[in-house]
Amino acid sequence: MIRLGALGAGLLFVITLLWGAIQPRDAAVPDPVEELHKHPQEVEWSFNGPGNLGILGTFDRAQLQRGFQVYKEVCSACHSIHRVAFRDLADLGFSAAEVKALAAQYEVPSVNDATGEPATRKATPADKFPLIYPNEIAARAAQNGALPPDLSLMTKAREDGTNYVHSLLLGYTDPPKNWTVGEGLYYNPYFSSLNIKMPPPIAADDQVTYADGTKATRDQMARDVAVFLTWTAEPKLEARKETGVAAVIFLLIMTALGYLSYRRVWADVKKPKAAPAE
């Protein structure tokens, strides 16, 4: 009797599973955000190496400098890169004097030597890029309730970060008919909720004039700043790749040596003769 009961319960379980498996998928209510959300477009970046394979590859110094220019002239109105120090900019190919001059364009918090009152002073290469707003409350007050995040680590904080920043910047379009965009929001299918509080920062070609004469198309500016933000998030990317390649070469050599010494050690050991037939 107990056996029969168990069999019945088992059968019921199997039937429920089968029922679930053959149910048509579209029985679930489609999520409009999931349907409209787009994955970032794949771009070939110099730092991903040949074929975008991710091995080797270096930053293009001229591109990093252009990206920094876009950050400085456009994004820095709202976003800080507070984890980057001015002296790190030497990595972009700026000379020590240029870094010093760049730093001096910024003011950082300080203390008045004579009175002890809070004051500001010119930044030095050892300082970090200053915050744009003293805290979140001040940022939201100035930005209509929105909070522009610090961009230092943004390309690491988002999946496929470099492609994401590039696509996000160019991704503003009119919303589809079945989608309503709230007050103070912009439709952008690359943003997770599709409605972003950031106004389109790269609105037209030639928004910046590149020092190296490169034509500043919207795509070019978006690419350059995406690469710059990849560098801020991982300034040692090139060293990491070099170490990786060196480690693989080292392991290959060790494997070859190991195999050769194996051959040598066992060279004199003969295979035992087959036992004589009786």
| Binding interface with ligand HEC (CB under 6 A) | 70, 74-75, 77-79, 143, 146-149, 151, 154, 158, 165, 168-169, 191, 196-199, 201-202, 225
| Closest separation in Å from C-beta 169 to ligand HEC | 6
For tokens 């037939």, the residue is 277
Cβ proximity to ligand HEC, 85 vs 168, nearer residue: 168
Neighbours of 146 (CB within 10 A): 15
| Closest separation in Å from C-beta 142 to ligand HEC | 9
**61, 118, 119 from 114: Cα distances, Å:** 43, 11, 11
**80, 102, 145 from 186: Cα distances, Å:** 22, 33, 14
Cβ proximity to ligand HEC, 45 vs 241, nearer residue: 45
Cβ proximity to ligand HEC, 44 vs 73, nearer residue: 73
Round to whole Å and give the CA distance between 231 and 234: 5
| Closest separation in Å from C-beta 231 to ligand HEC | 13
CA angle (228, 231, 236) in 5-degree steps? 165
Using CB positions, name the residue nearest to ligand HEC.
75
Structure tokens at 3: 């056996």
Cβ proximity to ligand HEC, 64 vs 70, nearer residue: 70
Cβ proximity to ligand HEC, 40 vs 241, nearer residue: 40
| Closest separation in Å from C-beta 208 to ligand HEC | 10
| Closest separation in Å from C-beta 189 to ligand HEC | 13
CA angle (34, 38, 41) in 5-degree steps? 160
Neighbours of 80 (CB within 10 A): 20
